Amino acid sequence: MKRATGRRRSAGSAATTAFAPDELDRQILRALSVNARATNVEVAREVGLSEAPCSRRIHRLEQEGVIKGYGVRVDAASVGLEIRAFVTLTLDAVSTKSADRFAEVVAESPYVLQCFIVSGSAYALLHVVAPDIRAYSEFVLDQLRTIPGVKDLNSNFVMREIKEFQGLPVVAC
């Protein structure tokens, strides 16, 4: 049976696709979520497939955008990033100019780990890191506050992490 492979993406959102991972694909995703460095042989063995079909499935998951990439989790403090904060930003009125400038500042900043446009009273929620309070302050005052239409900016500093992000839960649908 041939699967649909066409992808449709809307700007700034996750992939919307006709492709739907089946249970074997989900098992592969769970295995890679636990250990992204697992070899194809290890993943194939864990999910009960031979190597070639497992490799083809992984490749298809990558091609379809289900697997967006592979990475390593780094301890922020170990690499000199002592400040972690969540920033809510509110704009007076969202214009094309302010939204474009905001997107540009966020895209260019190495300090912004994630950014979400959110519902509610704020326009955006940012997950930010910085080496120290001075660098953080400069980023906020010299970058974020200079965006046209910024009305309010609120920083919530991480005091302690209770649960670290371990990847998305891959569950059966």
DSSP line for the chain: -PPP--EEE-TTS-EEES----HHHHHHHHHHHH-TT--HHHHHHHHT--HHHHHHHHHHHHHTTSS--------TGGGT--EEEEEEEEESS--HHHHHHHHHHHHH-TTEEEEEE-SSS-SEEEEEEESSHHHHHHIIIIIGGGSTTEEEEEEEE----SS----------
| pLDDT value of position 67 | 95
Q: In the chain, what are the domain boundaries? A: 7-63, 77-157
Q: What is the pLDDT of residue 173?
A: 60
**Interatomic CA distance for residues 24 and 43, integer angstroms:** 11
pLDDT attached to residue 172: 67
Tell me yes or no: is domain 77-157 CATH 3.30.365.10.
no
pLDDT band at 22 (very low <50, low <70, confident <90, very high): very high
Radius of gyration over every alpha carbon of the chain, rounded to an integer in angstroms: 20
Could you tell me which residue, 64 or 97, shows the higher pLDDT?
A: 64
Q: Just give the CATH number of 7-63.
A: 1.10.10.10
Instruction: Note if the pTM is more than 0.85.
Output: no
